[in-house]
A = this chain, B = another copy of it.
Amino acid sequence: MIPSAERDMHRAYGTHRVSNARRAIAEASARIGCAFTVEDLHRSVTRILPGVGLATVYRAVAAMLGTGYIACVGTRCGKALYAVCEGGAHHHHLVCTSCGAVTPLPCSLEAQLATSARRAGYTLTSHEVTLYGTCNACSRGASPLER
């Protein structure tokens, strides 16, 4: 086993056990390279390893959310959208509404938001910021997926 691949598995699943199915699922997540639904992921996974069940993908997604390897970056047509998170540092996501590309954005608002919250009498525990826009390629008219 290539060490870097093993490291990725640890990033994805933490102390959970790693099966062939989960290996394929983490690999497929990374390969997709943009925001994906569980269904998208399942389709990709079965190309790598046929026979993996949808429930298994859902369970692996839950595990990967737990470790922060992936994050929910919105919804599309009632389905949750996920994306692989690059580093471990606190960040947000910039999602292309045309092709689904996802770019991580370091969070520089922490102090500012906490101040606003405090002024309103709240003690901030967490915040969610998601930016939606069109990426360079899509702005130039490159093949977008259907929204």
Give residues in A with beta carbon < 8 Å to B. 74, 94, 96-97, 103, 105, 108-109, 112-113, 116-117, 120-136, 139
CA distance A25 to B132 in the complex (A): 31
* Copies of this chain: 2
Asked whether B133 lies within 8 Å of A124 as measured between CB atoms, the reply is yes
Asked whether A122 lies within 8 Å of B131 as measured between CB atoms, the reply is yes
Give the secondary structure class of A's interface: strand
Other-chain contact of A128, B109, B113, B126, B128 (Cβ < 8 Å): B128
A37, chain B: closest CB distance, angstroms: 16
CA distance A105 to B120 in the complex (A): 8
Asked whether A132 lies within 8 Å of B139 as measured between CB atoms, the reply is no
Interface centre among A74, A109, A139 (most CB of B within 10 A): A109
Asked whether A135 lies within 8 Å of B116 as measured between CB atoms, the reply is no
